[in-house]
Structure 1
Amino acid sequence: MSDDDRDDSDDELRDMLRQFLSGNGASFDPSQLAGAAGLPGDAASIQALMGQLQSALHSPSDGINWDIALEQGTTLASKESVDTTPAERASLDQAFNVAALWLDEVTSISELTTTPVLLSRRQWVKDTMPVWTQLAEPVATSISDALTQVMQEQAPDEMRGMLQNAGHVVRAVGGTLFAIQLGQVVGQLSAEVVSGGDIGIPLLKDGTAALLPQNVAAFGEGLDIPTDQVAIYLAVRELAHARLSRHAKWLRLRLITAITEFARGVTIDTDRMQELAESFDPSNPEELREAMVSGALIPPKTEAQQAALSRLETLLALIEGWVDVVTAKATARLPKSDAVAETVRRRRAAGGPAESAFATLVGLELRPRRLREAAAMWSQVTDAVGDDERDRLWSHPDLLPTSEDVDDPSALVARLTASAAGQEPEFDELDEAIAAMLSGEDFGGTGESSGGDDGDDPDSGRDDEGPRPV
């Protein structure tokens, strides 16, 4: 492509963006697009944005360049970062050592095989971005596809011919804007989270425990609680999260799969996007950004999504509830442990980092609606059968308490208590049917082989005096 042709292509791109952002023929201002992407309007930011858009336009792939999100996130995370002093690092390392010893006393889930780490905000962004992009990609694709559709439907007749083959261009623009916004969100989160498990989902590799020293210090400001007690409490919570993630190896996959499946079901409200295009005021680019990040373009959840959301919320509540109970028991000797725990609860109830991140990326708002109920259930289980039997429920997904158990733990506690006492469990009709099927009997108690004497039994010709293999 010659330079003249490339200039013509750039002019066409500006025309298309103008048609999308405004129907009144106003001239395109790159600073308005920067504002829509959540970026400052300074020359450096605008130049970087246009460079990213140009790179996306000339890419042969329709995929989203998530390196843009990483660049945005690390840049934002670096702005207010401060270096941790050797004394601060030594104090947090010691907090992890104490936390590990105290956790050993209250849980049978074994200690980690890797040393906990201390992360800067920038490093947290780098280490967690692969999971963020995995969660965000289905919605980003939906937005890009919807943007393509709206552009084609809104374009004047004289531009329709050009737009017939402009799908790649529009997807590149939409994907780039979404990647930039994702980087902004993750960069902002890097200033809020105090640990690897703070979001509630496993963002780091299994068995990795991490604290962010700068954010731990900010967490403790104004609490009138000794900094060493705050550090130990947060270290216990983080180790509990990391140990559970490493122990229940199926847990990470189940969580990530549930979230991505929910995200794949997200569609974009093209009517709302058309309304936004028709009424958009170029002098107020914040309107477009707000629509992209607030979930306004995502229609109400379907019944299937509501059911998936309920299952996901239950699983997250079980995780957080278990961490709360184990942490409370492990830190009982800390004079101010209740005060730190209350700060954690208030921070989480106010929304915290998880709610804004999920709502922004996949239209998924996660409030700790059932956290208290889940923690109460784990407390009852602990009181009834002890730490070991409580933790054994994490050994297989089929053993995990259900939503009904969270609502009313009495049946679960009774079942676990009977099992611990060596009593035979009470079988319901379904259990009896499964047991009969596995033993080769007809459900109904006849005691006869399900194969009967119909001649189809592959062993029908063998000597009946010997025992049949099961």
Structure 2
Amino acid sequence: MSNQGPANGDDQDPMEEMFRRMFGDNAPDPEEIQRAMQQFGASGMPFDPSMMDPQMMQNIMAQFQSMMASSDDDGPVKWDLAKQTARQSIAGQDPSVGSFAAKEIDDALRVADAWLDQATTIEAANVPIVAWSRAEWVEATMENWREMTEPVAVSLSEALTRAITEQLPGQLPEELQAAFGQMQPMMKNLGGSMFGLQLGQAIGELAQEVLSGTDTGFPIAGQRMAMLPVNIEEFGDGLSVEADQVRIYLALREAARMRLFANSPWLARDLMAMVQQYAAGISIDVSAIEDAVQTLDPMDPESMNQMFSGSMFIPEPEGAQKAAIDQLETLLALIEGWVDVVVTEAAKPLESAEALREMINRRRAAGGPAEHAFGSLVGLDLRPRRLHDATKLWTIIQEAEGVKYRDAIWESQLRLPTNEDLDDPEGYIKRRKTADEQSASLDDDLKKLLEGGFDEN
């Protein structure tokens, strides 16, 4: 292949141009690739890049270069590519947050905290208030997403890379194998790059849907109350509700969750521990990956993306992994159920509170497209499936024992309701009192033993 192209760029052979842009001076011979692809063409049609839309070809080349390129990431997953992809997916549709919008968020959260003081005994979270653009949310939360997904990502990317490098060359026509061999050094990046691309796209989609820092149920934004004005505005479109009411209602939910996370530090740790316990038990379906690689077109980056569609390569959880998922879903439901009950009380001054509550609970229970995409990617569903049961449980506890008793439950992991309590919410208080009495009796016996208070007889 000559590196001296025609003087007129318009006369550049499209195949040669495509591979030059892909691989620079190390590009395979385009004529060899052309002959092979004409035999290998999908549905009997020869591959002809001259028929491609120029912008589409440019996008594909950029994506392929990113997937193949080395990076500062030493591990098997390309986290910098994930962040880059997330940022690119929201480019052009992410207005910056102006001072007026930031003040509206600040005002809404301060009103929310004042109203929550009348609905819960858990103190306000003394954390910063921020109003973020989508890109700012991506930047601020990416490290936490990495921590949550890394065990799954590493296992999956390593299995993908192994299957691709071992199987893919043998699937190609003889004419293409020689040229494809030149790409082998770059293929070691492919599994991690594919996962990085997909994770970035899922997080980019989430960035267009999340309303606040805790909207996923996790304190993904860290110790701060964060809200996204552009997403809140889009959420309110078509609801026939005043914008300030929407902001305050969503601020109530954000501030309520942050009270839990700030005053029960073990809560965020337990959530992450459950995610890590789930991830530690992940087993990748290698045979499914191998089957997917059989249909992979190495010259079509879009076919690589499609490998991640559907059920993915993570089998249904069993045993300890299933128990971890159940614990995680229960805790997410308890958090969101408590928030629902507290915010319902605090939001009484809002004329549209009930309509907004119904809208949020429906959205939370069903999950949005981005949540489904994320769940498909790592096998982790962010939705609290038993939200209705948890709301009913907290309501029963509050009516029977009062707000102080209800909120004191969050002081210790040992007092938190279980799946059994969600199945039988009316029996929680009786079971809790019996457990407290048994614990008190054991404490008394231990104290007597230490003080030598038991009779020898």
Structure 2 length-normalised TM: 0.79
**Match of 2:193?**
176
Residue 105 (str. 1) matches residue 118 (str. 2): yes
**Match of 1:403?**
419
Inter-CA distance 298–48: structure 2 relative to 1 (3 Å threshold) = closer
CA RMSD of aligned residues (A): 3.8
Matches within 5 A, 1:250-261: 250-261=266-277
**Match of 2:79?**
66
CA distance in 1, matches of 2:193, 2:47: 18
Matches within 5 A, 1:120-139: 120-139=133-152
Partner secondary structure for residue 117 of structure 1: strand
Cα drift, residue 314 of structure 1: 0.4
- Residue of structure 2 aligned with 1:240, choices 256, 271, 274: 256
Partner secondary structure for residue 143 of structure 2: helix
Query: In the TM superposition, what whole-angstrom CA distance separates every residue of 1:370-390 from its partner, at most 9, and x where no partner exists?
Result: 111101111111112222221
Partner secondary structure for residue 393 of structure 1: helix
Structure 2 residue identity aligned to 1:176: S
Greater helix content:
2
Matches within 5 A, 1:452-467: none
Tell me if the contact between 1:317 and 1:368 (Cα under 8 Å) persists in the aligned partners: yes
CA distance in 2, matches of 1:64, 1:325: 41
CA distance in 2, matches of 1:413, 1:55: 58
Cα drift, residue 87 of structure 1: 3.8
Matches within 5 A, 1:10-49: 11=28, 24=40, 41-43=56-58, 46-47=61-62, 49=64
Tell me if the contact between 1:317 and 1:371 (Cα under 8 Å) persists in the aligned partners: yes
Identity, in percent, stands at 36
Cα drift, residue 9 of structure 1: 7.2
Deviates more, 1:223-232 or 1:280-289: 280-289
Structure 2 residues without counterparts, runs of 5 or longer: 4-22, 50-54
Matches within 5 A, 1:385-396: 385-396=401-412
Cα drift, residue 277 of structure 1: 2.2
Structure 2 residue identity aligned to 1:374: A
Inter-CA distance 412–390: structure 2 relative to 1 (3 Å threshold) = same
Deviates more, 1:175-184 or 1:284-293: 284-293
Tell me if the contact between 1:100 and 1:239 (Cα under 8 Å) persists in the aligned partners: yes
Query: In the TM superposition, what whole-angstrom CA distance separates every residue of 1:174-196 from its partner, at most 9, and x where no partner exists?
Result: 11221122111111111111111
Residue 187 (str. 1) matches residue 187 (str. 2): no
**Match of 2:101?**
88
How many correspondences in the alignment?
415
CA distance in 2, matches of 1:240, 1:60: 37
CA distance in 1, matches of 2:438, 2:426: 17
Cα drift, residue 285 of structure 1: 5.8
Matches within 5 A, 1:2-401: 11=28, 24=40, 41-43=56-58, 46-47=61-62, 49-51=64-66, 53-56=68-71, 61-151=74-164, 153-154=166-167, 155-156=169-170, 170-206=187-223, 208-280=224-296, 286=302, 288-352=304-368, 355-401=371-417
Inter-CA distance 366–120: structure 2 relative to 1 (3 Å threshold) = closer
Tell me if the contact between 1:119 and 1:212 (Cα under 8 Å) persists in the aligned partners: yes
CA distance in 2, matches of 1:285, 1:7: 18
Query: In the TM superposition, what whole-angstrom CA distance separates every residue of 1:120-161 from its partner, at most 9, and x where no partner exists?
Result: 1110000010011112221221122212432354254999xx
CA distance in 1, matches of 2:234, 2:373: 20
Tell me if the contact between 1:199 and 1:354 (Cα under 8 Å) persists in the aligned partners: no
**Match of 2:17?**
none
CA distance in 2, matches of 1:403, 1:435: 30
Structure 1 residues without counterparts, runs of 5 or longer: 32-39, 450-470
Structure 2 residue identity aligned to 1:97: R
Inter-CA distance 101–270: structure 2 relative to 1 (3 Å threshold) = same
Inter-CA distance 11–142: structure 2 relative to 1 (3 Å threshold) = farther
